[in-house]
Amino acid sequence: MKTKIGFFDFAGCEGCQLTVMNLEEQLLQVLQLVEIVEFRELHSGSAEQIDIAFVEGSICRPGDRERLLEIRRRSDILIALGSCADNGGVNALGSDRTPEVLRQEVYGADLPHLYTETPHALSKLVKVDYRIPGCPIDGQEFLAILQALLLKQQPELPGFAVCVECKLAEYPCSFDYGQVCMGPITRAGCRAICIDGGTHCRGCRGLIDNPRTSPYHRILEEHGLTVEEILEQYRTFNVNERPA
Amino acid sequence: MKIELDYLTRIEGHAHLVIDREAGKITSCQLQIVETPRFFEAMLQGRHYSDVATIVARVCGVCSISHTLASLMTTEAALGIEVPVQAQLLRCLLSYGEIVQSHLLQLYFMALPDYFNTPSLFHLLDEKQELVARALRLKRTANRICEVVGGRPIHPVTTCIGGFSARPEAAELKKLRQELVAGLPDLEATVELFASFEYPQFCRQRETLSVAPDDRYPLHNQQIQSSCGTNYPATIYREEIEEYISPQSTAKLARNQHGSYMVGPQARLRHGQDKLSAMAKRVCSALDLNPNGLNPFENLKARLVEVVHFTEEALHTIDELLLCGMTQIRGKDTPSAGGCSTAAVEAPRGLLFHSYQFDAKGFLKAADCVIPTAQNLAAVEADLQQLLPELLKLPESQIKQRLEMLIRAYDPCLSCSTHLLKIDLN
Ligand code: SF4
Ligand code: SF4
């Protein structure tokens, strides 16, 4: 029997699900092995039991909690899809203000249906088995993780920093261009795509496990920066992350 | 009697439709947007101008390119930063890529299953293998435009203040050109397919609003045009368009002095029909589409006309870029000490405004974004109100299907606004 997979979304931009849809021919090949039983954007219908649930987005509203718990109950494996689900992502940029203040600022009103809570990563509320970082996720990494699971292997994320991928591809270092780059402390897996695009890493894939002891930490030191400083000053995708 | 249709599917974002009827009469009909509010405008406050576009792109994965471009153009206008012509051409190409990929996604993945009576395109895999393969090929090519120019299909990485931080290789553009040409027979087959469907008949007078056509079909011009004859600069949008909050919806709605209006493919086509490419004009007649038509179900046809038009434009733009070279893709990033401005772009779903105010150090003080779906919501509701009585004699399942089809025809993208359509028929 085919493995049943489902896609679910909470507060996010649907860019991670769209990245999956953008796999096109590769997605067709995947469909030989798995059955998509739920994917609201593409498909009407729902399923009672799901082998692997991919969940995008952050949890912000009271109803979200119940829905997430209900998805967890139906799923053997639950995977956080993208940085919104993994660590709060860009949604967490507003966590320096209370939801009341945000509502006033954007809507100029405080109506009950606009009620939200500070955005949470999925792992705050349920057990998350695996995660696929990035804003958006990398399509090939998604396939690699799904493949590992189908082969009953443990999916693994790279333990090294974006810097490694950048050096391997021989891109010019962003710091040499006077830019501040989060590559030294950010988890690899995106092939340093932003640096290839002529800009710097903004850390969308989250922190590596040991940012202060990794070999590339010295790049930060050379430029007189600490991990805390860089996180504080350049926060975009890592509001909720603090190095261990 | 109460009918509940949970999770309206095959749309971007979450919404419910609640209809109350009493003794065969509709007493109320509301489209409720239940997408989680994400407060982007507030989250942008205090951010440096160089970070704004990257953050605001995350409003919407499907139209991240439009949000990026609207954002960059607003910041550039506010801070007096020039964009070289070659970069403007690259930006047009990027927009074409996004519109074509978004339209193809809507036509094949979201709308087509309605016309084949199937829950999803993938259910046609066994029966109609070639059709599914064609849909994927076409979408792939459109995404390739975004990839070659923007670095990746969603949330571009090469776009920056003043133009681009990296240029596509000429060889890549040539390859892309070949792929686009190779896709033309697939487009022909698509036109044939969509010409064969029977579209529900429905007509309601409406005002349409879009970026005004300049020497080209509406896209990045900073002048706004209404079918009522008004024409005004994007910068005064607040005098013309009022955003308001409804107790049912987490999206802000919009209206102008005449009430509701429509944005998107049909609006652009109505205003820009003379600027269509030769191929797109032929497609218009092949689809039997009146460019001034008012049947929202035919938004699908208008979308397909645009797919053809923008594909042709993409080919021309690639030629232009190859001819002029891409030596000047980034203007000088020398911002003035603060300022405010507004910019409009045509996103796949219609008119999009961004408006920012920056302090003297280049940090954002205030932001406002008016998105296409929010502008269309009132028009969708007005359509539903008129359409419903016409449908009441039909069996319930058909009523629901028709209503879903109408809503999908607008291709609402609610991630922007603030997700699932649920229809409640009381
Ligand atoms: S992680 Fe980024 S791309 Fe994915 S849903 Fe969130 S904002 Fe969108
Ligand atoms: S380079 Fe950095 S910001 Fe860019 S995709 Fe990779 S981790 Fe994300």
SS3 B426: coil
B262-308 pLDDT, tens digit each: 999 999 999 999 999 999 999 999 999 999 988 999 999 999 999 99
Residues B409, A106, B72, CA angle at the centre, nearest 5°? 70
Hey, are the CB atoms on A14 and B39 less than 8 Å from each other? Answer: no
| Positive or negative: CA dihedral A174, A243, A153, A145 | negative
Ligand 2 lined by A238 (C-beta under 6 Å): no
What pLDDT, on a 0 to 100 scale, did the predictor assign at position B257?
A: 85
Can you give the C-alpha Rg of chain B in angstroms? 21
- B25 lies in a domain? no
B385-415 pLDDT, tens digit each: 888 888 888 887 888 888 888 888 888 765 4
Closest CA to B302 of B260, B329, B341, B267: B267
B153-191 pLDDT, tens digit each: 999 999 999 999 999 999 999 999 999 999 999 999 999
What pLDDT, on a 0 to 100 scale, did the predictor assign at position B14?
A: 65
CATH for A3-150 is: 3.40.50.700
Residues B186, B348, A12, CA angle at the centre, nearest 5°? 110
Total of domains in chain B: 1
User: CB atoms < 10 A from the CB of B182, how many?
Assistant: 11
β-bridge partners, A187: A161
SS3 A235: coil
Non-local (6+) Cβ contacts of A190 within 8 A are A134, A138, A162, A165, A204, A205
Ligand 2, atom 2: closest residue by C-alpha: A201
- Domain of residue B201: give its range: 2-6+8-18+32-424
User: CB atoms < 10 A from the CB of B129, how many?
Assistant: 11
Which has more pLDDT, A5 or B245? A5
Q: Chain-centre distance of CA B354, in angstroms?
A: 15
pLDDT > 70: percent of chain B? 88
Antiparallel, parallel or unpaired: β B339-347 and B350-358? antiparallel
Contacts of B97 in chain A (CB under 8 A): none
The answer to whether residue B417 scores a pLDDT higher than 60 is no
Task: Report how far residue B95's alpha carbon sits from residue B352's, in angstroms, rounded to the nearest whole number.
Answer: 13
* CATH number of the domain where residue B341 is located: 1.10.645.10
Task: Report how far residue A182's alpha carbon sits from residue A176's, in angstroms, rounded to the nearest whole number.
Answer: 14
Pocket test for ligand 1, best of B56, B58, B59, B67 (most atoms within 8 A of CB): B58
Segment of A107-111, B6-10, B329-333 carrying the highest mean pLDDT: B329-333
What pLDDT, on a 0 to 100 scale, did the predictor assign at position B264?
A: 96
Hey, are the CB atoms on A89 and B58 less than 8 Å from each other? Answer: yes
Lookup: tokens for B156: 């571009």
Residue type, A157: L
Burial of A105 by CB count in 10 Å (0-12 exposed, 13-18 middle, 19+ buried)? Answer: middle
- The arithmetic mean of pLDDT across residues B212-222, rounded, is 95
Report the residue of chain A nearest B64, measured CA to CA.
A15
Taking a C-beta distance cutoff of 8 angstroms, is the pair A174, A167 a contact? no
Burial of B153 by CB count in 10 Å (0-12 exposed, 13-18 middle, 19+ buried)? Answer: buried
Beta strands in B194-349 (DSSP E): 207-211, 223-226, 231-233, 242-244, 253-255, 261-262, 339-347
Task: Report DSSP state, residue A34.
Answer: E
Hey, are the CB atoms on B51 and A236 less than 8 Å from each other? Answer: yes
Ligand 2 lined by A219 (C-beta under 6 Å): no
| Positive or negative: CA dihedral B117, B123, B128, B133 | positive
Hey, are the CB atoms on B58 and A24 less than 8 Å from each other? Answer: no
**A28 interfacial to chain B (CB closer than 8 Å):** yes
Closest CA to A94 of A62, A60, A67, A132: A60
Pocket test for ligand 2, best of A202, A208, A236 (most atoms within 8 A of CB): A202
Across chain B, mean pLDDT equals: 88
The answer to whether residue B425 scores a pLDDT higher than 90 is no
Query: How close does chain A come to B165, measured CA to CA in Å?
Result: 5
The answer to whether residue B5 scores a pLDDT higher than 50 is no
Ligand 2 lined by A137 (C-beta under 6 Å): no
The answer to whether residue B131 scores a pLDDT higher than 90 is yes
Residue with tokens 């030294």: A184
Hey, are the CB atoms on B62 and A43 less than 8 Å from each other? Answer: no
B85-129 pLDDT, tens digit each: 999 999 999 999 999 999 999 999 888 988 998 878 888 888 898
The answer to whether residue B418 scores a pLDDT higher than 60 is no
- B24 lies in a domain? no
Lookup: tokens for B52: 């704004």
Residue type, A218: R
Residues A58, A7, A10, CA angle at the centre, nearest 5°? 20
Domain boundaries in chain A? Answer: 3-150, 162-238
- The arithmetic mean of pLDDT across residues B123-137, rounded, is 90
Antiparallel, parallel or unpaired: β B339-347 and A50-56? unpaired
- The arithmetic mean of pLDDT across residues B34-39, rounded, is 65
What pLDDT, on a 0 to 100 scale, did the predictor assign at position A129?
A: 98
Contacts of A238 in chain B (CB under 8 A): none
What pLDDT, on a 0 to 100 scale, did the predictor assign at position A102?
A: 67
A241: left (phi over 0), alpha (psi -120 to 50) or beta: beta
Which has more pLDDT, B252 or B386? B386
Identify which of B58, B125, B151 has the shortest CB distance to residue A135: B58
Residue with tokens 């975004």: B146
- B384 lies in a domain? yes
Contacts of B113 in chain A (CB under 8 A): 44
Q: From the candidates B5, B8, B9, B164, which should be mutated to test the interface with A, based on the most A CB atoms within 10 A?
A: B9
C-alpha distances in Å from residue B155, one per residue of A91, A185, B152: 15, 21, 7
Hey, are the CB atoms on A22 and B154 less than 8 Å from each other? Answer: yes
Residues B328, B164, B324, CA angle at the centre, nearest 5°? 35
Task: Report how far residue A18's alpha carbon sits from residue A234's, in angstroms, rounded to the nearest whole number.
Answer: 27
Closest CA to B129 of A1, A43, A37, A25: A25
Q: What is the ipTM of this complex?
A: 0.92
- B368 lies in a domain? yes
Q: Could you report the average pLDDT of every consecutive run of 10 residues in chain A (244 residues)?
A: 92 92 90 88 76 94 89 97 93 74 65 68 96 97 97 94 94 87 94 95 92 82 82 75 66
Ligand 1 lined by A93 (C-beta under 6 Å): no
Report the residue of chain B nearest A26, measured CA to CA.
B136
Report the residue of chain B nearest A23, measured CA to CA.
B140
